[in-house]
Amino acid sequence: MNAQAGDAVKVVNLVVRYDRTLALEGVTLDVHFGEAMGIVGPNGSGKSTLLKSIAGLLTPASGAITVLGAPPKKIPAGSLAYVPQIEAADWSFPATVWDVVAMGRFPRLHFWQHFGEQDRSAVEAALRAVNMYNLRARHIGELSGGQQQRVFVARAIAQRPQLLLLDEPTTGVDAETEEALRRVVRSLVDDGMPVLMTTHDLDRVDEWFDRLLVLDRRVLAIGKPDEVAESGAYASIREHTHTHGHARSA
Amino acid sequence: MNALLVPFEYAFMQRAFVAAIAVGLLCSVMGTYVVLRKLSFIGDGIAHASFAGIVIAYIRGLDYYVGAAIVAVLTALGIGFVHRRGNISLDTTIGVLFTGAFALGVFLMSRLKNYAVDLQSFLFGDILSVSSKDLLFIGILSLLIALTVVVLFRGLLYTTFDPVVAQASGLHVETIEYVLLVMLALTIIVALQSVGIILVAALLVTPAAAAYQLTKRFTPMMVLAVVLGIASTVGGLYLSYFLRSSSGATIVLLATMLFFSAIGVKHLKSFRSA
């Protein structure tokens, strides 16, 4: 996987609108294989919108997105995994931890194919990676926020995607979960996985990411975390984020 | 000696029992999706809208159920479309469109000089009037829906729980949603004759809602919903023979009692484990 040629994600001049509001204006970026890119920016800066556009969940007003060599909606099922913010899910749904992570396998299975040994071992490995295997039989409504987040990440890992998108997985989770997630993400990246992740937490960006993108509807800066820090591009963001606390963006 | 078996001696009752099993099965399977996707209002709306189809079919001299089925499927697809593309909220859309379609049915009917449609039997159902031809129709539709659920089982489950992530991972969420709505419309048509326009929503929602109280995984919920649904339709039909009551109403009342029993059992369980 390490030696894959080309960029995993290529975004050129992306413009996204919600009705009359401009959410992204002219965003250009690329994500390489084997690299974790962090997206930071104030609330409403378009971080989630950018991820959703790359995931093929939104239709851009203009610009081009190439994911794994194709437009987002044309890539083969199972090749992209998207981890949304946990508030988006119905946690009263009748499902156990195992059931939810097993869904990660569904995009790869045709209806006539059984959920086989290979699928079960992928689910087990994903659950162990995030330290949730012991809680596999628990109903999802009985989990803490950190555990719910780990379940969502495990579902994405069980899918064995070629590109991983994470929307603020560290917001509102305990320190132990954050560290567990960081280790999982880093080990995936070391195996060649491209990762794109939004975050509010500016304190450990150098431990998480190879490159950082500072977004406020447009790209303010992009580069290695320390370079970006020196450029001063996110000093204003940091101030902004701190004044507004850690409230979640939509 | 066997007074309890008397209902099974009549051919019309036998047909009614077969219909009751099919309707209980179908409504509970679809009801599981209806409850988890919060579509119960849609079920009620489709049932009411189909009344316009029944009246139009009558005027044109077509089979009532074909007319009802066409209107039900079209409205189901219409909601899916408005829900996806429109800026109007779903419950507003349904509230406007379906009461409108129902009113159209009543309007057309009231203008007929001499109509022979038994309004009562459409509103409240008449499972005892199920003919062999109706049974064939019910059988084919049931098989079709069951097959579709089996083929789309994983896709339906994933998109019910988390449509956004399912779409991102490459599932055809929109197609699955439309297929579900069409199946829902057809289920409602099958159930119309048994329990009628007014009560069909109850049969979609109540057994699945009862099962939801007692289970924590999807497949057990669906299986329990089917057990409770068939118990309601078959049990209600059976009881209605002895109580000389409306079969549709008895079926729904029995389902309602099962629902409250399920809540009771749930509380008893949590009381014991506390």
> Structural domain tally of chain B?
1
Instruction: Sort strands A7-18 and A62-67 into parallel, antiparallel or unpaired.
Output: antiparallel
Q: Give the whole-angstrom CA distance, residue A101 versus residue A122.
A: 9
What per-residue confidence (pLDDT) applies to B85? 75
Across B15-40, average pLDDT: 94
Q: Could you tell me if residue B169 is inside a domain?
A: yes
Domain that holds residue B182: 26-196
Across B123-148, average pLDDT: 89
Q: Could you tell me if residue B256 is inside a domain?
A: no
pLDDT band (50, 70, 90) for residue B258: very high
Residue A148 has pLDDT above 60, yes or no: yes
Q: Report CA torsion sign: A213, A216, A220, A226.
A: negative
* Of the candidates A100, A105, A80, A90, the residue with the CA atom closest to the CA atom of residue A193: A80
Across A161-188, average pLDDT: 94
Q: A181-219, pLDDT tens digit by residue?
A: 999 999 999 999 999 999 988 888 999 999 999 999 999
- This model of the complex carries an ipTM of 0.90
β partners of residue A18: A21
CA distances from B6 to A11, A182, B241, B242, B268 (A): 74, 70, 9, 10, 37
CA distances from A55 to A119, B236, B264 (A): 23, 49, 44
Phi-psi region of B245 (alpha: psi -120 to 50; beta: other; left: phi over 0): beta
Q: Could you tell me if residue B239 is inside a domain?
A: no
User: Is 0.95 topped by the overall pTM?
Assistant: no
Q: What's the one-letter identity of residue A112?
A: W
Q: Could you tell me if residue B116 is inside a domain?
A: yes
First to last CA, chain B: 49
Q: Could you tell me if residue B59 is inside a domain?
A: yes
Helix (H, G, I), strand (E, B) or coil at A94: coil
Q: What is the DSSP letter of A217?
A: S
Report the residue of A9, A87, A93, A153 to disrupt the B interface, i.e. the one with the largest count of B CBs within 10 Å.
Answer: A93
Residue B37 has pLDDT above 70, yes or no: yes
Across A129-147, average pLDDT: 95
Q: Could you tell me if residue B97 is inside a domain?
A: yes
Strand order in the sheet with A7-18: A21-32, A7-18, A62-67
What are the chain B neighbours of A99 within 8 Å (beta carbons)?
A: 217-218
Of the given ranges (A153-167, A169-183, B28-42, B102-116), which has the lowest mean pLDDT? B102-116
Helix (H, G, I), strand (E, B) or coil at A222: strand
Q: Give the whole-angstrom CA distance, residue B9 versus residue B4.
A: 10
Backbone angles phi, psi at B162, to 5 degrees: -150, 75
pLDDT band (50, 70, 90) for residue A19: confident
Q: Could you tell me if residue B13 is inside a domain?
A: no
Q: A233-248, pLDDT tens digit by residue?
A: 766 665 555 444 444 4
Q: B122-134, pLDDT tens digit by residue?
A: 788 888 888 898 8
Q: Could you tell me if residue B214 is inside a domain?
A: no
What per-residue confidence (pLDDT) applies to A160? 96
* Of the candidates A117, A174, A128, A116, the residue with the CA atom closest to the CA atom of residue A153: A128
Of the given ranges (A218-227, B122-131, B208-217), which has the lowest mean pLDDT? B122-131
* Of the candidates B164, B167, B163, B158, the residue with the CA atom closest to the CA atom of residue A72: B167
pLDDT band (50, 70, 90) for residue A79: very high
Q: In this complex, do A99 and B155 lie within 8 Å of one another by their Cβ atoms?
A: no
DSSP A47-62: HHHHHHHHTTSS--SE
Q: Give the whole-angstrom CA distance, residue A37 versus residue B90.
A: 38
Chain B touched by A76 (CB under 8 Å): yes
Q: How many CB atoms lie within 10 A of CB B3?
A: 7
Partner residue opposite B217 with nearest CB, options A75, A99, A103: A99
What are the chain A neighbours of B212 within 8 Å (beta carbons)?
A: 94
Q: Give the whole-angstrom CA distance, residue B78 versus residue A1.
A: 45
pLDDT band (50, 70, 90) for residue A62: very high
Contact B63, B79 (CB under 8 A): no
What per-residue confidence (pLDDT) applies to A240? 53
What per-residue confidence (pLDDT) applies to A5? 59
Q: What's the one-letter identity of residue A207?
A: E
What per-residue confidence (pLDDT) applies to A191? 94
Chain A touched by B216 (CB under 8 Å): yes
Partner residue opposite A94 with nearest CB, options B153, B155, B212: B212
Mean pLDDT of chain A: 90
β partners of residue A16: A24
What are the chain B neighbours of A78 within 8 Å (beta carbons)?
A: 169-170
What per-residue confidence (pLDDT) applies to A244? 44
CATH of the domain at B157: 1.10.3470.10
Partner residue opposite A78 with nearest CB, options B167, B169, B218: B169
E strand segments, A33-156: 36-40, 62-67, 80-83
Structure tokens, B46: 């489709």
Q: What's the one-letter identity of residue B199?
A: L
Q: In this complex, do A155 and B218 lie within 8 Å of one another by their Cβ atoms?
A: no
Stated length of chain B = 274
What per-residue confidence (pLDDT) applies to A247? 42
Of the given ranges (A118-127, A134-143, A168-177, B159-168), which has the lowest mean pLDDT? A168-177
Q: What's the one-letter identity of residue A90?
A: D
Q: Which residues contact B130 (CB under 8 A, 6 or more apart)?
A: B12, B15, B16, B19, B138, B193, B194
Q: Give the whole-angstrom CA distance, residue A35 versus residue A193.
A: 7
Across B59-67, average pLDDT: 84
